[in-house]
Amino acid sequence: METTPPLPAAVVAAAGGGRAPLVLARAPGRVNLIGEHTDYNGLPVLPMAIDRTVWVAARTRDDGRFLATNLDRAFAPCDFPWEAVIPPGPPGHWENYLKAALQAVVRHLPPDRRSGASLTVASDLPTAAGLSSSSALVVAMTLAVLAAHGSAVERRVLADELAAAERYVGVLSGGMDQAAILLAEAGAALRIDFFPLRTRPVPLPPACAVIVADSGVRAEKSGDARTAYNRRVVECRLACRVLSAALGLPLERLGDLVSHARGRPLAGFVDALAERLPDRPATLPEIAAAGDVPVATMRALTTGDDGRSLAIGGDPDTFRPLARGRHVLGEADRVAAAVAALGTGDLGAFGRLMRASHASCRDDYEVSIPALDELVAIAEDAGALGARVTGAGFGGSIVALARAADADRIVAALDARYYRARRGGAAGPPPRFVLGPAAGASVRSVAAP
């Protein structure tokens, strides 16, 4: 029987020969253990890189053009010239991620060194599964193009720049994914803090297993999930503005509360929000009154950073800032507690924090869906210490934490009760994995075939 060559070999073979040297970049996906929708608020997250990877082989060209092919034929080849400002392609096209990468690269290559590049892409990281396939693609492309041009950029700088570059596709995302992909260390989760970016590896005890189960409900960052995500970002801005007024503090983002909390839980600030806001969808005039500002000031927070209109979906006049703020502040406390629990090896405590995180993501942040709730319930019934939606939500995957000895039983339960049940009892390859914490992205020269 013919065996499929491992992806790195396949991608190098597909890149073929050429005059310029070939480089090969790898960027892992990530799964977030806890700390959801906290990053853009300047509050910490705890993801780890996973052993599912995007590979990009690259060599420079002489004609100033940029050509990319994907071994997955679902992604049509792209071909465009390198310009100082690269206009976006059609919405939803993978080309936009490549253009986002180049937009960051051009800052580091003077015009006389931009020779163009041919790229070949392959991946075993599922797309739209909440595992950051798009950010992994952007990171791998960036490292490959820089290395092909004999250049490299400090990882931390790149993490910040690529987070900003992805806003190119119209999502107001935070910086978790790029930082996790670029800065993760094997064997450890990574606590990431933002504004400024700081990271600290948090080793995972070998006695635990991390199980990722993909619901199969696609959460496209370039599709509907984008507007739902942007709406959450906007609701956090509104909550922050109300808290600013309530506390008499100039807060730029919810994370600024950390310096006023003096080590106490951030959830303590929720009362101040609840005194001014109803615990139901509130109208913009109600929220403006709660923040002691004119409606126009609040409305400005619902538009893009550039002041232009922003795709947020739904009713443009009704928001839930109290529930969103309650989630974000509580979730930040849970990240701190989860890091402490790993420090003492208390997996049970970590699992309980994951359960609380899922409930908060489901009820207050409203980013879960019934399929994810079902996967969480199956995993916990089968012995997981805790399970939760991971990543942006609105589809995608759950992450479960288990004692290593229980992992097989949990995987079998997910298979029988979710995947097989959906296939009418038939066996098949279930889209879920038991994953260890992998190393961050890397790039190297390779000998062409």
In the bound state with ligand GLA, the residue whose beta carbon lies nearer, of 392 and 411, is 392
* Segments of 10-111 assigned E as strands: 22-34, 46-60, 65-70, 78-81
User: How far is the C-alpha of 87 from the C-alpha of 103, rounded, in Å?
Assistant: 10
The verdict on 39 binding ligand GLA (CB under 6 A) reads yes
Query: Residues 212, 328, 392, 438: which binds ligand GLA (CB under 6 A)?
Result: 392
Measured from the CB of residue 351, what is the shortest distance to ligand GLA in angstroms? Answer: 19
User: How far is the C-alpha of 253 from the C-alpha of 294, rounded, in Å?
Assistant: 19
User: How far is the C-alpha of 382 from the C-alpha of 277, rounded, in Å?
Assistant: 40
Show Cβ contacts of residue 150 under 8 Å, excluding neighbours closer than 6 positions: none
In the bound state with ligand GLA, the residue whose beta carbon lies nearer, of 15 and 219, is 219
In the bound state with ligand GLA, the residue whose beta carbon lies nearer, of 35 and 437, is 35
The verdict on 40 binding ligand GLA (CB under 6 A) reads yes
Measured from the CB of residue 177, what is the shortest distance to ligand GLA in angstroms? Answer: 5
Provide the β-strand partners of residue 203: 188
Show Cβ contacts of residue 147 under 8 Å, excluding neighbours closer than 6 positions: 23, 25, 58, 443, 445
Tell me the three-class secondary structure of 168-234, residue by residue: HHCCCCCCHHHHHHHHCCCCEEEEEECCCCEEEEEECCCCEEEEEEECCCCCCCCCHHHHHHHHHHH
Helix and strand numbers (H, E) in the chain are 15, 14
In the bound state with ligand GLA, the residue whose beta carbon lies nearer, of 37 and 334, is 37
Helix or strand run (H / E) with residue 359: helix 347-363
In the bound state with ligand GLA, the residue whose beta carbon lies nearer, of 219 and 379, is 219
* Segments of 302-403 assigned E as strands: 318-319, 386-389, 397-403
Stretch of 35-43, 58-66, 235-243, 404-412 lying at the interface with ligand GLA (CB under 6 A): 35-43
Query: Residues 391, 395, 430, 437: which binds ligand GLA (CB under 6 A)?
Result: 391
Q: Pick out residues in 14-33 that bind ligand GLA (CB under 6 A).
A: 32
Give the orientation angle of helix 155-166 with respect to helix 133-148, to 10 degrees: 120
Measured from the CB of residue 168, what is the shortest distance to ligand GLA in angstroms? Answer: 13
Measured from the CB of residue 39, what is the shortest distance to ligand GLA in angstroms? Answer: 5
Q: Pick out residues in 212-271 that bind ligand GLA (CB under 6 A).
A: none
Residue 177 known to be catalytic = yes
Using an 8 Å Cβ cutoff, are 182 and 155 in contact? yes
Residue pointed to by tokens 């991608």: 11
Q: Per-residue x/- mask for ligand GLA, residues 169 to 208, rule CB under 6 A?
A: ----xx-xx-------------------------------
Given 160, 177, 256, 333, the catalytic residue: 177
Helix or strand run (H / E) with residue 283: strand 282-283
Measured from the CB of residue 171, what is the shortest distance to ligand GLA in angstroms? Answer: 7
In the bound state with ligand GLA, the residue whose beta carbon lies nearer, of 375 and 392, is 392
Tell me how many residues contact ligand GLA (CB under 6 A).
Answer: 11
The verdict on 36 binding ligand GLA (CB under 6 A) reads yes
Measured from the CB of residue 164, what is the shortest distance to ligand GLA in angstroms? Answer: 12
Query: Residues 15, 26, 37, 402: which binds ligand GLA (CB under 6 A)?
Result: 37
In the bound state with ligand GLA, the residue whose beta carbon lies nearer, of 120 and 173, is 173
Chain contacts with ligand GLA (rule: CB under 6 A) = 32, 36-37, 39-40, 173-174, 176-177, 391-392
Active-site annotation, residues: 177
